[in-house]
Structures are given as structure tokens and as C-alpha cells.
Amino acid sequence: MKPAQFQYHRPTSAAEAVELAAELEEAEFMAGNQSLGIVMSNRLATPANIVDLSRVDELDFVEVDEDTVRVGALTTHRSISQSDALAEHVPMLPAAAEQIAGPSVRNRGTLGGSLGEADPAGNYPAALVALDGDITLRGPDGTRTTSARDFFIAYMFTDMTEAELIESVSVPREPFPPDRTGMAFDELKRAAQTWPTISAGASVRVDDPDADEPTIEDARLALANAADVPLHVPDAEAAVEGEPLSEATLDEVGAAAREAADPSEEMHADREFKLDVAAEYSRRALETAYGRACGTGGGAA
Ligand SMILES: Cc1cc2nc3c(=O)[nH]c(=O)nc-3n(C[C@H](O)[C@H](O)[C@H](O)COP(=O)(O)OP(=O)(O)OC[C@H]3O[C@@H](n4cnc5c(N)ncnc54)[C@H](O)[C@@H]3O)c2cc1C
């Protein structure tokens, strides 16, 4: 099938894009068109107006300042996966990016498109919820910033109005000093270019990587495709904080993830299987992050 007829608009600034979206009937932003194109071709979406963001160059950036790491909404999965600055300061984002689909989707698909799509199986939504990042939106009345943990409200539904544009995301630097922090984004998928069955994004900061058994000061964990929204698992974080990682605390992590998850059944994975995977990948991601924080690549004591 082909998309229904629409009018095409190509602004060159974020301000112009928002203005167009506010004044046009049934307008939809288009970024990399890796998801929107599919739903429009199947006529599951029939917007009267498309506002193509691909020339809004101001939204394609990675910036590290004293307090935060910021990434523009138009930054592609490929650019994120290859960013040295992100690899140094927020390695969960490149790890999440490089596992999205195949090269053609990664070359065109963008951070903002993934957040706008708000699929609970999406890689960045889970990563940003784990990192407690912020999302900056621009609307007709100006910009506002919201926490990623508040942004995803229900299945593919966000705290964003139709004329609002995702401009950027930011992650604070202070909780994640690179010399004492490890991150991981681990996913189980049936085939390289499909969506994951479950993914786990984890971060661990230790007190002293050179100690015999470094203590975990700060842990972060969120799961993708384990519920209707990207799922933060604070009980798993609490289970490992304040002591070195051990098999006992990892068992608590698995139990907490199982308890928090409420996955939908899929053709290839029933609910019980997804609960098992949520528990196992939560353990793995935190164990990998701990090994990286300790500089050993190793796991639990
Ligand atoms: C085969 C395949 C496998 C995939 N596997 C994965 C996977 O494993 N993990 C994963 O995370 N993703 C996966 N994806 C999804 C892919 O990452 C998305 O297609 C992509 O992230 C969407 O980005 P886009 O730039 O193409 O957005 P578009 O398709 O252009 O837009 C998607 C939606 O977001 C809105 N939007 C776009 N930009 C903005 C903005 N700046 N502000 C507000 N709204 C905006 C659009 O209006 C639209 O509703 C897969 C896709 C395909 C086709």
C-alpha cells in the first residue's frame, strides 16, 4: 500500500518546525522516517501535513559541558553509536544505539524519532529512564524540560502535545564519573534486525575501583519491552547499593525485576519466558556494569 496524500513541509529551524505544526491541520513531524514511513504506508497514520525535520541542523549535536551531556533529537543512531564523547561519559547511549535494527535503520533513524515513537521496547527510552535523563521539548509557548521517567505515560503515549517538538535530551554528569562508573545495555533478540524480547540498561558507580571489593554507591536499572512503558526498577537498584556486588544481591536483582515486570505476551515469547529474561538480563547488565566500573570487566564476588 502507499501512504495517503499529504502536504510536505521542510523547515530549517526548530522554531519554524513548531510554528508549522501549530498552524497546520493534522500535522506530523518526520525525522528519519524509519517508523513513520511504515505506519503511513499501511495507512495506520494518515497525516494531512508532514513537517520534515531533516534540514533542522541545529538539532543534530552531541555536547558535553561542565554539568551535562546533551544530545540533539536529530542525531542518528549511527552518530550516537560512534560518538567518542558519549562513549566516555554516557556509554549506555552508544551501546543502546549500536544494537538498534540494522545499518540502514541506524543511518537514518534518530534519537528524537525513537522517543517520539515511544515504543516500550525502544532502546533509548529504557536507557534514558535508567540514567534519569531529561527531555527538552519546544512548543508554541516556548520550551520546557521533563524527566524521562515522567515522559512515558502509557503504551506508546507520552507527555507531549501534538505541536511539541523534542529538541534534545540531557544526562547529568555528576552521578557518572567515568573513572568509577560502568554501564551496559544488554538485549535478547531473536535476530539481528528485529526488536528485542527484553533489554536491560544498567549503570553502576563504585566507591573505589582499586579496592579488593568495591562498594556500589549508585546503581541504575531500567528494562525495555517488560511493561507498557520503559520500566525503572528501583528495588533492584536498592538491592545492590551500599555493598560489593555478590551472588546474593544479584539474586535479589532478579527477583525485583521479575516482580516489577508486567510484559505483554508475544508470538515468540510468552509472559513467563519474558519474566525469566527480565530477571536474567537485569542480573547480567548490572554485573557487566559493575565489572566495568571496577575496571576488571569481571562480575560478582
Ligand atoms: C526493522 C526495524 C527494527 C527496529 N528495531 C529497533 C530496536 O531494536 N530498538 C529500537 O529502539 N528501535 C528499533 N527500531 C525503531 C527505530 O529505531 C525507529 O524507526 C527510529 O528510532 C525512529 O526514528 P526516526 O528518526 O526514523 O523517526 P520517524 O519514523 O521519522 O518518526 C517516528 C515518530 O516520532 C515522531 N518524531 C520524530 N522526531 C520527532 C521529534 N524531534 N519530536 C517529536 N516527535 C518526533 C514522528 O512524528 C513519528 O510519530 C526498529 C525499526 C525498524 C524499521
In ligand 1, the atom with minimum distance to the C-alpha of 160 is 43
Averaged pLDDT, 287-294: 98
pLDDT for 301: 44
24-33, 37-46, 52-61, 271-280: least confident range: 37-46
pLDDT band per the 50, 70, 90 thresholds, residue 297: low
pLDDT band per the 50, 70, 90 thresholds, residue 214: very high
Give distance in angstroms: CA of 98 to centre of ligand 1: 14
pLDDT band per the 50, 70, 90 thresholds, residue 192: confident
pLDDT band per the 50, 70, 90 thresholds, residue 190: confident
Mutation test residue for ligand 1: of 28, 36, 71, 119, the one with most atoms within 8 Å of CB: 36
To the question of pTM greater than 0.85 for the whole model, the response is yes
pLDDT for 21: 96
Instruction: Give residue ranges with CB within 6 A of ligand 1.
Output: 28-36, 53, 73, 100-101, 105, 108-110, 112-114, 116-117, 122-123, 165-166, 193, 195-196
Give percent of the chain with pLDDT exceeding 90. 94
pLDDT for 96: 98
List pLDDT tens digits, range 96-130: 999 999 999 999 999 999 999 999 999 999 999 99
Give distance in angstroms: CA of 32 to centre of ligand 1: 7
Give distance in angstroms: CA of 220 to centre of ligand 1: 25
Give percent of the chain with pLDDT exceeding 70. 98
Give distance in angstroms: CA of 299 to centre of ligand 1: 34
Give distance in angstroms: CA of 118 to centre of ligand 1: 8
Q: How many CB atoms lie within 10 A of CB 153?
A: 13
For the residues of the chain, what is the DSSP string, one character each? --PPP-EEE--SSHHHHHHHHHHSTTEEEESS-SSHHHHHHTTS---SEEEE-TT-GGG--EEE-SSEEEEETT-BHHHHHT-HHHHHH-THHHHHHHTSS-HHHHHH-BHHHHHHHT-TT-HHHHHHHHHT-EEEEEETTEEEEEEHHHHEEETTEES--TT-EEEEEEEESTT--GGGEEEEEEEE-SSTTSPPSEEEEEEEEES-TTSSSPPEEEEEEEEESSSSS-EE-HHHHHHHTTS---HHHHHHHHHHHHHH--PPPBTTB-HHHHHHHHHHHHHHHHHHHHHHHTTS-----
Give distance in angstroms: CA of 170 to centre of ligand 1: 19
Check pLDDT > 60 for residue 300.
no
Of 163 and 29, the structure prediction assigns the larger pLDDT to 29
List pLDDT tens digits, range 229-261: 999 999 999 999 999 999 999 999 999 999 999
| Nearest-angstrom CA–CA distance, 169 and 148 | 9
Residue with CA at minimum distance from ligand 1 atom 2: 101
Mutation test residue for ligand 1: of 16, 40, 53, 100, the one with most atoms within 8 Å of CB: 100
